[in-house]
Amino acid sequence: EIIGEDIPNYSTTFNSTSDWTANGSFYEITVNQAIHLKGVDPVIQVFETIGSDYEKVELVAIVATNGNVTIQTVSNLRFNGKIVIS
């Protein structure tokens, strides 16, 4: 059985303040595998909100062995945006 193959992409928006959690010198957003349902080898895309558009950005994305996805940035680079997990 292939987990996540027939499940639509998971997408959620986030803001530049309260959605990011401090972890040492970084800020993170974590999406549990039980929420995104794309298994332990998902494809992760992150977009920054620019006006009414989204622009793809590159940043650290960590997939834990249990499939949880964490995106990470330094504190002064938090931003409003969207994460898509497929």
Reported as a pLDDT band with limits 50, 70 and 90, residue 86 is very high
Q: Token pair of 76, please?
A: 């002064």
**Sign of torsion, CA 51 53 59 64?**
positive
Amino acid 1: pLDDT: 45
Residue 26 has pLDDT above 90, yes or no: yes
pLDDT 10s digits, 37-83? 999 999 999 999 999 999 999 999 999 999 999 999 987 899 999 99
Tokens of 63: 């997939």
Q: Answer yes or no: are the C-beta atoms of 13 and 54 closer than 8 Å.
A: no
Instruction: Please give, one letter per residue, the 3-state secondary structure of 7-59.
Output: CCCEEEEECCCCCCEEECCEEEEEECHHHHCCCCCCCEEEEEEECCEEEEECC
